[in-house]
Every structure is written in C-alpha cells, then in structure tokens.
Structure 1
Amino acid sequence: MTTTTTPRPTPHAHTAGSGVSFAHVLRSEWIKLRSLRSTAWCFAVIVVLLIGFALLFGAFASGFEGAPATDEQQQSLAVSVATIGVPFAQLVAAVLGALVITGEYGTGMVRSTFAAVPRRTPALVAKVLLIGVTTFVVSALALAVALLVSTPLLSSSGVDTDLADGRIWLSMLGGAATIGFIAMIAFGLGAIIRNGAGAIASAIGIVFVLPIIFSIGQALIAKPWIYSLYEFIPPQAATRVYDYPVDGQSLTALPGLDGSLVLEPWQALLVLVGWVVVLFAIALALVKRRDV
C-alpha cells in the first residue's frame, strides 16, 4: 500500500511580492530617482535659482532708499532677499514631481514596479516620500547658502542681518518645505493624470496660473471672502509658511483685505499637508483600481 504526502511549504515560500519589505522598496525607488537625469538637472536648476536670485537681489540692495529702521524690518528684508527665488524653484519642483511618476508610465517601467510590489501602496508611498524629502534637503541647503551669500551684500548697504535669530532659519526651512510640498502635490497630480504633459501643465497651473486668476478676481470683486479663499491655494499658503512679517506687515505676501482671513505659518503648513494628502489619496485609489 502506498500513500501520497502533500509537501509542506517551506518557510521561504511567499506569494509574489509579499516578501518585499518597505525598506527594500524605498531603496529601489531611491536608486531609480537618483538614476534619472531629470532629477539631477531639476535639483541643479533649483540650487541655481535660489542662490542666483539671492545674489542678484542682494547686489542691488544698494538701490534701496535707506536701510529699514528696526532690527525686525532688517531681518524681514534679509528673508525676502534670501527666499526671492522660492516661487521659481517651486515651478521646477512641480515639473520634477510630475515627471517622477509619469515618466514610469511613459516608459512602461511602472509594470515592473507593480509586479515587484503588487499591493502598489508601498511603491507610491516610497516615491512621494523620496521626492518630498530629497527636494526639501536640496532646497534647505541652497537656501542656507543663499542667506549666507546675501548677508554681506546687504550689510554693505546698511542692512545688518542677525544670523543668530532663530526665526530667520525657520523661514529658510519653511521655504525649503514649501518646495518639497509642491513637488509632492505635483506627484499626486501625475499619478492621477498619468500623462507627463498634462500633469506638468496642471501643476504649473496651480503654482503659477491660479494666483493670477485670484489676483484678477480680487481686483474685480474686492470682497473679504475671495481674499480668504486665496489663502488656501498652495502658492499663497507656501508664502505664509516662510514669511517673516513685522507688525502684521509682510514683504513677500500680498496684503489682505479688512475682515479677510490671514493664515498663521503652522496653519498654512497644514493647508499644504492637506493638499498632499487629498491628492495622494485620490491617486492611490485610482492606481489600485486601474490596469497598468
């Protein structure tokens, strides 16, 4: 009499992709991110814009009519000069964030990514975290250099910058954070649209075109509610994050209207987080439902 036995599964038997840890996914996505030429070029452009604009405006500081009267006003001016390139860097970050995901759809590499990570969520989380963190780090270093190189230029014009002031460094970190958040917002749009041109156009529309539309609306309507609504679009919220206001007056953010809402930096930061979370949640839901 013969009997058949069913082979017992070995401890190493896994379903496809179930043994892939998040650390491995993160490392894989990091290799892909730093291997892209667009990543290096975009980061280089961000650095050049942030430092270059600070140098340019710092060099023309001699054209200011007299130095600001108080120490806080001088600090505010120093922040404005050091962060003058942030909106332009945000445009580049928007392009990079969109390309990171749409490039994979364009080349078909996303099929390999999702074959290795069938659940898809870890891959998308790793991508968005990496693009946000790396953009923040590069921008923070560039803004620190921008502040340091613009300080002596401002000093020669009678504007003394106190680098021991914690608020001024918080503004630099805030400016870097906004560039990272814009990249993450663009990533979410790219994952939703899946087309490079469409995602880039949408991201640039949010960063560049939307403020223009609101500015026209404010000129035509001039009601507190439209000024309050303006505070919740990413570019204006970003400005509030790294702003250095003095007595409620800002050198970087557009003035509001009596009765309109003005966000505090931490509130503006939460607005940017909200944009990232909502767009990423929509993207994740669509990526799980769609065929590659």
Structure 2
Amino acid sequence: MSATTATTTLPANTGLSFPRLVRSEWIKLRSIRSTVWCYAILVVLTIAMAVLIGTFVNQDGAAMPTDAANATTVSVNTASVSITALVVGVLGVLIITGEYGTGQVRSTFTADPGRIGVILAKAFVLALATFVVSVVSTWIGVLIATPLQAANGIRPDLADPAVFLPILGSSVYVTLLALLAYGTGLLVRSSAGGIAITLGILLVLPVILSIFAGLTGAQWIADVGRFLPSDAGGQLFTYASPAAETGATTGLVLNGWGGFAVLAAEVVAVGAAAIAVARARDV
C-alpha cells in the first residue's frame, strides 16, 4: 500500500498589487481618529476664515478696481493656509509613525516585503485625500465669501487664472507639505520627533534665517530662506498682479512655478531618502 502525499501549489505571484495596497491604506487612513480630526479642523478653519475675513474686509463699501479685488479675494481665501499647513503636517507624520508606535508596521511590511509599494500607496492615499479635502473646503469658502465681498464692493474675476491658480495652488501646497511630513516621519519613526522637525522647518527655521539675514545683511542667507518649504511653497498661493511693475529686485526671486518646483524637489528628496532607509533597516 503506497501513501500519496498531497501537494499545494501556490500562485506564482502572492504579493499584493498596488491597487490592493491603496485600498488597504485607504481603509487604515479613514479608520484613524487623528485623520478625522485633522481633516475636520482643516475644513472648519478654511471655510470659517474665508467667511469671517470676507465679511469684514472693505466695510466702507467703496468699489475696488478688478486687480485689487482679485488680490483681495486670493488673500481672503488663502488666509488659513499657514495654519492648515501645520495640521496636515502633523497628520503626515502620524500616518506612518502611528504604525511604528503600535507595531502594525510589521504587518504592513509583511504584506509587501519590498516595502516600496506600500510606502508609495500610503503616500498616494494621503496626497489624494488631503488634496480633495482641501480643494472642496477652499472652494466652499470661495462660494460663500464671494457674495459677502460683493456686498462690500469687492467683485473679483474668478475665471482669471491669476485668481484661480493661486487658490488652487493653496491646496497643492498643503498636499506637498503633508507628503514632506510623511517622509520625515518615515525617516525618524517617532511621532514626537517627526512633528518637532516638521514644525521646526515650517515655523522656527524661517525666523532664524530672517534674524541672521537682518543682523548680518548677508543676501545669501536671505536667498537660502527662499528655498525653505514655507517660503518656496508660499509662492503657489501668492497673487501675481498683471499690473505690477517689474522694478529692480535684490536676491533670489521665485514665482509660482519656481516655488512648486523647489518644494516638489524637496518632497522627492526626503521621500527617496526615507524609502532607502526604510528598506535598509529591519523595521
């Protein structure tokens, strides 16, 4: 009598595809309490500040020229960006360091032993969610604030690219900052450390460089400051007046596209370093 041994043939490709990794990361993102709170704060601040400022700006009701009205509208609807950028920065760190803190990252990397796929999937979900939430809340603020401004004599041309692009650029800015914070969190694997570094880059470093540039009068220090994420990215939502005179300027000057290129390059550089380090260490 001979015994027959049953064998099980596993599929050649047992790894998760990128769409499945994205789906998994989306489930994790919307299941985290900090995600809900951060996005809720982003929505409330974006809409509330646009409505409040739009209500009280130019209360004397004097009619503004179109160029001034356009500039005012951009300022009103991007006033919250400096605060919401900090909120998404915290979220970008927590989305990865939270997994290190709970040990869930071991299961995450087990599902994708190469690690690159799951890291990019998490970044994709974070970027898409942040951009969509920011765009929707920003344009809700625009739709509410514009009639309020019109009552005060401010009637912008929302179809003008000089108005539309900076308002859209504010959402691109917070999205890129979320990715920058995500890469930082992946590098340091610590919530406290990642948040401290992110807030230090956004809040402390610009002040330090500004002080040194003012005390020394060194133009190169001021030029270095132009490459900071907050300064370079700030060009994305800065109104560029068509009627502005092109006078003599000192030092480095970035426009919207230049600022985007600098910030995007910083995100890619930090992300590439984070991926390399994540693949090199055990967890």
Q: Give the TM-score normalised by structure 2.
A: 0.91
Which of 116, 124, 128 aligns to 1:121? It is 116
Kindly indicate whether the alpha-carbon contact (under 8 Å) linking 1:82 and 1:143 is maintained by their aligned counterparts in 2: yes
SS in 1 for 2:273: helix
Q: Distance in 2 between matches of 1:129 and 1:85?
A: 24
Task: Kindly report which structure 2 residues correspond to 1:1-292, keeping only aligned pairs within 5 A, or say none.
Answer: 10=9, 12-14=11-13, 18-63=14-59, 68=64, 70-246=65-241, 258-292=249-283
Unaligned runs of 5+ in 1: 251-255
1:193 Cα deviation from its structure 2 partner: 0.6
SS in 2 for 1:158: coil
Kindly indicate whether the alpha-carbon contact (under 8 Å) linking 2:67 and 2:241 is maintained by their aligned counterparts in 1: yes
Q: Distance in 1 between matches of 2:210 and 2:59?
A: 28
Q: Distance in 2 between matches of 1:65 and 1:260?
A: 39
Kindly indicate whether the alpha-carbon contact (under 8 Å) linking 2:46 and 2:137 is maintained by their aligned counterparts in 1: yes
What RMSD over aligned residues (CA atoms) do the two structures have, in Å?
2.5
SS in 2 for 1:62: coil
Per-residue Cα deviation, 1:84-120 (whole angstroms, up to 9, x for no partner): 0011000000000000000000000000001111000
Unaligned runs of 5+ in 2: none
Per-residue Cα deviation, 1:207-239 (whole angstroms, up to 9, x for no partner): 122222222223223343233222211111111
User: How many corresponding residue pairs?
Assistant: 281
Q: Give the TM-score normalised by structure 1.
A: 0.89
The percentage of aligned residue pairs carrying the same residue is 41
SS in 2 for 1:260: coil
Cα 1:257–1:191 change in 2 (3 A) is: farther
Per-residue Cα deviation, 1:136-190 (whole angstroms, up to 9, x for no partner): 1100111111112111222122111222223322112100010000000000110
Which deviates further from its counterpart, 92-101 or 278-287? 278-287
Kindly indicate whether the alpha-carbon contact (under 8 Å) linking 1:223 and 1:257 is maintained by their aligned counterparts in 2: no
Kindly indicate whether the alpha-carbon contact (under 8 Å) linking 1:67 and 1:159 is maintained by their aligned counterparts in 2: yes
Q: Distance in 1 between matches of 2:70 and 2:126?
A: 31
Which deviates further from its counterpart, 230-239 or 180-189? 230-239
Q: Distance in 2 between matches of 1:64 and 1:240?
A: 30
* One-letter amino acid matched to 1:12: P
SS in 1 for 2:58: helix
